[in-house]
Structure 1
Amino acid sequence: MQKKLTLIIGLISILLLAACGQDVPDDLDWEVEEFTYTDHTNNDFGLKDLEGDVWLANFIFTNCDTVCPPMTSNMSKIQDKLAEKDIDAEIVSFSVDPERDTPEQLETFSQKFDADLSNWHFLTGYDGDEIKEFAKNSFQTLALPDPNSDQFTHGTSFYLVNKEGTVVKKYEGVSNVKYEEIVDDVKALQ
């Protein structure tokens, strides 16, 4: 009897631990700092607007001649896949080049990738030092001007943020994007 009880408790414990891990594996637990920036419509948009939402974030700039176009195209595919499965999520793209990336420039850039701007927010309205610190503190990534060109060094990951404003996972954003995993993880956090 004692062995059966121990076995049952052990099985229940394993099931509970497995269920806890189903939410989103690789829990990063990085709290996103409070922010209010300017979106592509020239309106304020910030962390308070995302309260209670699951969202994806990335860092881009419109003058980028390497990774930003494929990243934005890949995020657009994710947006389409989420819509196909009727999964609500917000998307936030932070510009690392706020001097050149005006709201109008960001909107024009977004149109090249068929972004649905009802739930995708392209942000600017800060200075270079602010986005550098924000990227480092909230997403553990770089956002630095390249001293030898007009380009920027920045992270190429997509970040999954839960309803509490905590980064819980990151994914490759340029190539080998795990679209279905991202969609499943967003759904798991709903």
Structure 2
Amino acid sequence: MNTHNFHILSSWKAALITLIGLPLLAWSIVYWTENKFGTLPLYSRNQQLASTEREAVYLPPFSFIDQNQQATTNAWLQNHICVANFFFTSCPVVCPKMMHQLQHLAAADSSIRILSLTVDPDRDTPATLQHYAAKWNISPHTWKLLTGNKKNLYYFARKGLYLTATDGDGGKDDFIHSDNIVLLDQQQRIRGYYSGTSASAITLLLSDIKKLQHEK
């Protein structure tokens, strides 16, 4: 191959690489930007997406007792990104998986706050929750295990976090068990629902938390 032909071939290869590489680079930049700085949706009632900010739901006022027998209210979440879930300490399979994933979340980002509310307040007293917190190495500074009046807890699950569409009165035979984790922004608006037993869902949740941290 003579020098002239070699230069033509080299130029052709360079043009082909540029033709393929530039769109790929542009796509990569857009993909990275959207994943880091993209905007999460707002949610309205019953896990429906809000079409406008006015339709977005906010957490209702609440007051529950944590593992250290201290009252926890909306004020504890003020200006913080929060995740919330429901569990019970005697749960044999699903709740331990959720707690494991929440541990991973807490270790990955210590700035977020976690609310884990019991669906079995008769058994899950503050003393029981304190023992459970010690077992899972849960810090009360960033992670609250909460108990209280069953009707209030169940109302909060149904009409505060919209974890389930089933009706109930919070009575003796009423029971809620959801493996969903709810993401709340700094204004206590719902921004996402995630499977609490899925490692890939927690990875997505961490990515979405980063998006909220970059929102203006």
TM bucket normalised to smaller = 0.7 to 0.9
- Provide TM-score, normalisation by structure 2: 0.68
- Taking only aligned residues, the RMSD between alpha carbons, in angstroms, comes to 2.5
The structure where strand makes up a greater share of residues is 1
**Aligned amino acid, residue 171 of structure 1:** Y
**Aligned amino acid, residue 23 of structure 1:** T
**1:23 and 2:39 correspond:** yes
- Counterparts of 1:1-190 in structure 2, within 5 Å, are 22-24=38-40, 26-28=41-43, 29-83=56-110, 88-126=111-149, 128-142=150-164, 147=173, 152-190=175-213
- In structure 2, the residue corresponding to 1:31 is in which secondary structure? coil
Larger Rg belongs to:
2
Give 5+ residue unaligned stretches, structure 1: 1-14
Give 5+ residue unaligned stretches, structure 2: 1-29, 44-55
| Structure 1 pair 166–95 and aligned structure 2 pair: CA distance change class (3 A) | same
Runs of 4+ more than 3 Å apart: 142-147
Does structure 2 retain, via aligned residues, the 8 Å contact 1:145–1:153?
no
Deviations 1:93-150 (A, max 9, x none): 0111111111121121122222233200111122x22211111101112486895xxx
The structure where helix makes up a greater share of residues is 2
| Structure 1 pair 74–146 and aligned structure 2 pair: CA distance change class (3 A) | farther
Cα distance, 1:61 vs. partner?
0.8
> How far apart, in 2, do the equivalents of 1:145 and 1:63 lie?
19
- Provide TM-score, normalisation by structure 1: 0.76
Q: How many residues align?
A: 164
| Structure 1 pair 185–82 and aligned structure 2 pair: CA distance change class (3 A) | same
